[in-house]
Amino acid sequence: MPYPGYSPANSPHLEAALLLDDALLEFSNNLEKNGFANPLTGQDELSQIMDYIKNTVLPKLKLWEYYVIDTEAEKKKFVQAWQSSKTVEVIEFVPKE
C-alpha cells in the first residue's frame, strides 16, 4: 500500500515549501545566536525578527528560482511533444443542467 502522505519525493511542487519551513525552523532554533531574545518580550522584537527573516533568511533561499522557466525551451518541448503525439484523448465537457 503506498504511503498516503505528501512529500517533495512524490509532490515536487512542495520542495520550495519544505526549504522555507526548514530555514524558518533553523532560524527559530537559533534566535539567541542571531541576536534576538528568547522568549520574545514585545512587539518591537517581533518586528525586528520579521525584518530579519525578510531581509536575511528569505533572500538566501532564492525561492523565486522555483517559479521561473525558460519559456523558449519549454515552447520547443511542447511543440516536439505535440508533433510526436499519435493519439489524442478527447474529453467531452457536459455542462450540468
Distance separating alpha carbons of residues 13 and 65, to the nearest angstrom = 12
Cβ count within 10 A of residue 72: 8
| Structural Rg of the chain based on CA atoms | 22
More confident: 27 or 73: 27
Q: Give me the percent of the chain exceeding a pLDDT of 70.
A: 84
φ and ψ at 46, to 5 degrees? -65, -40
Condensed to tens digits (0 to 9), the pLDDT of residues 48-66 reads 999 999 999 999 999 998 8
Looking at the predicted structure, is the pLDDT value of residue 96 above 80? no
Range list of β-strands (E), the chain: none
> Which pLDDT band, with edges at 50, 70 and 90, does 89 fall under?
low
More confident: 32 or 93: 32
Hey, where are the domains in the chain? 12-84
pTM above 0.85, yes or no: no
CB 85 within 8 A of CB 77: no
CA angle 53, 63, 18 (to 5 degrees): 80
